[in-house]
Amino acid sequence: MTGTNQYVKDVATRGYQYGFVTDVETDVAPRGLHEETVRFISAKKKETDWMLEWRLKAYRYFVSLLKKDQLPRWANVKYPPIDFQDIIYYAAPRPRKQLSSLQEVDPEILRTYEKLGIPLEEQKRLAGVAVDAVFDSVSVATTYKEELAKRGIIFCSMSEAIQQHPDLVQRYLGSVVPYTDNFYAALNSAVFSDGSFCYVPQGVRCPYELTTYFRINTEGSGQFERTLIVAEAGSYVSYLEGCSAPMFDTNQLHAAVVELVAMENAEIKYSTIQNWYPGDEQGKGGIYNFVTKRGKCLGKNSKISWTQVETGAAITWKYPSVILQGDNSVGEFYSVALTKGYQQADTGSKMTHMGRNTRSRIIAKTISAGHGSGTYRGLVRVMPTASNARNFTQCDSLLLGDQCGAHTTPYVEVRNNTAHLEHEAFTSRVSEEQLFYCNQRGLSPEAAQALIINGFCKEVFKQLPFEFAVEATRLLEANLEGVVG
């Protein structure tokens, strides 16, 4: 620990030259990105040397990209240039002000919770109201943690994992998404603040849907999240990310990285419901959601399945992908992406077939309303080694109104002629005829539209665990309230 303290001092003194606030007790890194910022974050988190080194390598790589102006510009999204020196890269999660009752919570937030049908106790927890003994989320979390520990499952924050399980982290961090992968992955690797870590030992089926809800110690983790899930041979885990509650967050850039590793016969199911602040009606503000998510089916017969429901963020740029390395491995991607107002989403999946008899399936549903713009971008790549690879891709778009847009950009790269690829795509509108048919049966236009949209999303929603599917349905309805096609 002396070494670390030395770092802190180094950072503190050297940082001064750059206008750093020398007080090591401070919880906020000064604005801007420098090597010192990276050292500061690493020191704050009392990280080991290799971790700092790794961050620094990532930082240097990021700077080289930035110098060469190698920002990703291929996505079908428009936004003003981001000033990377005008961002605060680290702010320690501040304990939230405890409120004593729901009366003190912003009524607008409460109305949204209600719309989403979040139970009262859960509303209190989300809004930061002290919860009573009957529903103590801390003890709930503890009970779950003990149950998981009994089975040898590690489920903790990334910071904790770096401290407690350095060998595991060192072995797998960056093994699926190296810091050289892309611009935002490099940035994330340099400055990630926290995230989740999960390790499921050989042959263990995780008995719960793991959600960040049970992992209270990482609440308030920053905009640069890093998540790593490793499923050993024959294990199974289902992980739910995100909270259906709206985030009244004004942070601009959210650049997360998620890595999944599945060994022989292992299965990982990763579900996301994303409802970040999308910006106001004029398109001002909102989150830039630039995320790199990738899984590696390392072992034979392994399976990785991504399900996402993306309704928030001003700009979404993410392509949950699977590298199908093990023979007979399976990769799946199920997505619903909604854009309304001035939201833009460029999302899809990348399936890389390497092993024999590997199979992948992509079901992407894009809903656009208002001035929203939704793009499906996908790549199915079959390597020479991947004999008998199969892919099925279906990307459907639903347009509400005539100011929005939907685009489909599927790429295919096949280097083995035994591959079998199928692609289906169609664009539809909620037709006046369908609405009339529903109205004639007694449904209001709003209910009719919600029903038709739910029907459109059904294949994706049914992949979600039940409670999540219910939330996803409500979330879509709440988001489309007042939007009639």
Partner 1 sequence: MLEIRNLHASVGEVEILKGIDLQVKPGEVHAIMGPNGSGKSTLAYVLAGKPGYVVTAGEVTFLGKDLLPMKPEDRARAGLFLSFQHPLEIPGVRLDQFLRAGINGIRKSRGLEELDVLKFDRHLVKKVQLLEMDQGLVRRSVNEGFSGGERKRNEVLQMAVLEPTLAILDEPDSGLDIDAVQEAAKGINQQRGPENATILITHYQRILNYVVPDVVHVLINGRIVRSGGKELALEVEAQGYEELQEAEATLRSSG
Angle of helix 107-116 versus helix 466-480 axis, rounded to 10: 120
Establish if 457 lies at the interface with partner 1 (CB under 8 A). Answer: yes
The residue (of 210 and 480) whose beta carbon lies closer to partner 1 is 480
Nearest approach, Cβ of 32 to partner 1 (angstroms)? 49
List the beta bridge partners of residue 161.
none
Strand (E) positions, 201-277? 205-211, 226-231, 236-241, 253-254, 257-262, 267-274
The residue (of 52 and 450) whose beta carbon lies closer to partner 1 is 450
The residue (of 25 and 433) whose beta carbon lies closer to partner 1 is 433
Establish if 438 lies at the interface with partner 1 (CB under 8 A). Answer: yes
How many Å is the Cα radius of gyration of the chain?
23
The residue (of 452 and 480) whose beta carbon lies closer to partner 1 is 452
| Binder of partner 1 out of 167, 442, 466, 482 (CB under 8 A) | 442
Nearest approach, Cβ of 335 to partner 1 (angstroms)? 15
CB 452 within 8 A of CB 367: no
Establish if 164 lies at the interface with partner 1 (CB under 8 A). Answer: no
Establish if 474 lies at the interface with partner 1 (CB under 8 A). Answer: no
Establish if 456 lies at the interface with partner 1 (CB under 8 A). Answer: yes
77-to-16, 266, 316, 399, 425 alpha-carbon distances in Å: 39, 36, 9, 18, 21
Tell me the helices (H) and strands (E) count for the chain, helix number first.
12, 20
Establish if 452 lies at the interface with partner 1 (CB under 8 A). Answer: yes
| Binder of partner 1 out of 168, 247, 421, 451 (CB under 8 A) | 451
Nearest approach, Cβ of 438 to partner 1 (angstroms)? 7
Establish if 253 lies at the interface with partner 1 (CB under 8 A). Answer: no
Q: Interacting stretch for partner 1, rule CB under 8 A, among 30-38, 174-182, 242-250, 456-464?
A: 456-464
Please tell me what DSSP assigns to residue 176.
S
Establish if 418 lies at the interface with partner 1 (CB under 8 A). Answer: no
CB 119 within 8 A of CB 187: no
Nearest approach, Cβ of 434 to partner 1 (angstroms)? 6
Establish if 167 lies at the interface with partner 1 (CB under 8 A). Answer: no
Q: What angle do CA 356, 360, 362 make, to 5 degrees?
A: 165
Q: What angle do CA 7, 8, 11 make, to 5 degrees?
A: 80
Q: Catalog residues that contact partner 1 under the rule CB under 8 A.
A: 431-434, 436-445, 447, 451-452, 454-459
